[in-house]
């Protein structure tokens, strides 16, 4: 059962539910609703945080930014090193090693479809260790989807300009891609 797997009880579930509905709810409000003292609510919250079951995160809301969110699924010979490489891109939102037809799924956020296409062409389509690339764009989200991107890099390195990926110093442009190719081929033969 979920409660046992998470190591929580019914009161913890209620606390988690309150925070998921309203992340700004006060401990006093929760204490009143559960008829417990504020210090016991605080102790439970601290326990949930320590376990990693309760997290407070900040980010930008996809549905309110008017940006394009692309999901790219592909097959990589070494998914973990590919994700490590891609996570350096300022537009990278998240990546997953997955099962199924492809073994990697990544999300990028962009202000234009052209920039999304540039990132995919520059970092994925030119990489010989990546195949079967499938691109989709998220049209809407049922729940609020928060994401974090490297806004400082985008602003200072002018990443948003078209044709800037090849010269990107953070990801490393063509030299880093060649290094990644070499590492992945080496890892496959070890």
- H/E run at residue 116: helix 113-120
What does pTM read for this prediction? 0.78
Cα 142–147–149 angle (5° rounding)? Answer: 155
What is residue 177's predicted lDDT score, i.e. its pLDDT? Answer: 47
Q: What is the pLDDT of residues 139-164, one digit of tens each?
A: 999 988 889 888 887 776 667 777 78
Structural domains in the chain?
Answer: 2-51 (1.10.10.10), 60-189 (3.30.70.920)
Inter-residue contact 101 to 78 (CB < 8 Å): no
Look at strands 104-110 and 146-147 and give their pairing.
Answer: unpaired
What is residue 34's predicted lDDT score, i.e. its pLDDT? Answer: 97
User: pLDDT digit of tens for each residue in the chain (190 aa)?
Assistant: 888 999 999 999 999 999 999 999 999 999 999 999 999 999 999 999 999 999 988 888 898 898 999 999 999 999 999 999 999 898 999 999 999 999 999 999 988 899 899 999 988 999 999 999 999 999 999 988 889 888 887 776 667 777 788 777 767 655 544 554 444 444 544 4
Encoded tokens for 8: 């929580």
From the list 128, 129, 75, the residue with the least C-alpha distance to 105 is 75
């Amino acid at each position: 059962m979920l409660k046992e797997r998470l190591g929580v009880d019914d009161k913890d579930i209620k606390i988690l539910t309150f925070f998921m509905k309203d992340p700004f709810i006060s401990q006093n409000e929760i204490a009143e609703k559960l008829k417990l003292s504020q210090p016991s609510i605080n102790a439970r919250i601290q326990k949930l945080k320590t376990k990693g079951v309760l997290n407070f995160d900040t980010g930008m809301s996809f549905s309110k930014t008017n940006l394009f969110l692309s999901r790219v699924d592909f097959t990589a010979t070494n998914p973990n090193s590919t994700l490590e490489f891609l996570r350096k891109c300022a537009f990278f939102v998240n990546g997953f090693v997955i099962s199924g037809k492809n073994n990697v799924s990544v999300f990028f956020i962009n202000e234009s479809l052209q920039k999304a296409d540039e990132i995919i062409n520059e970092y994925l389509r030119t990489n010989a260790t990546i195949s079967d690339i499938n691109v989709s764009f998220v049209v809407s989200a049922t729940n609020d989807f928060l994401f974090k991107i490297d806004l400082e890099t985008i602003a200072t390195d002018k990443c948003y300009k078209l044709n800037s990926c090849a010269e990107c110093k953070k990801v490393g442009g063509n030299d880093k891609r060649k290094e990644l190719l070499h590492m992945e081929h080496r890892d496959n033969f070890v």
